[in-house]
Amino acid sequence: MLSSRRCGATTRAGHPCMSPAVGGKNRCRMHGGAAGSGAPRGNSNALKHGLFTRAAMDECRRMQDLVQRSLRLVREIG
């Protein structure tokens, strides 16, 4: 048991999990090594939404900059 492979997933505290990995897998039973864990193949609910893609974040920054410049202009005029 002590010489078995360790999970290594990052815990909430930021440290690696030291639980033994499930046989034939890289993770312990709590971090995805258990049978049936994860989304089924072809599950559309497991798709990414794209909200945090680089393009979306760049667009958000541009919009924030536009709002800030607009507010500054309104303050200067008024």
Among 32, 14, 17, CA closest to 5: 17
Question: Tens of pLDDT along the chain (78 residues)?
Answer: 678 899 989 999 999 999 999 888 889 988 988 887 777 788 777 677 888 889 999 999 999 999 999 999 999 998
pLDDT of amino acid 66: 98
H/E run at residue 66: helix 54-77
Beta-bridge partners for 20: 6
Angle at 12 between CA 57 and CA 39, to 5 degrees: 70
54: helix, strand or coil: helix
53 φ/ψ sector (left φ>0, alpha ψ -120 to 50, else beta): beta
Domain ranges of the chain: 1-35, 50-78
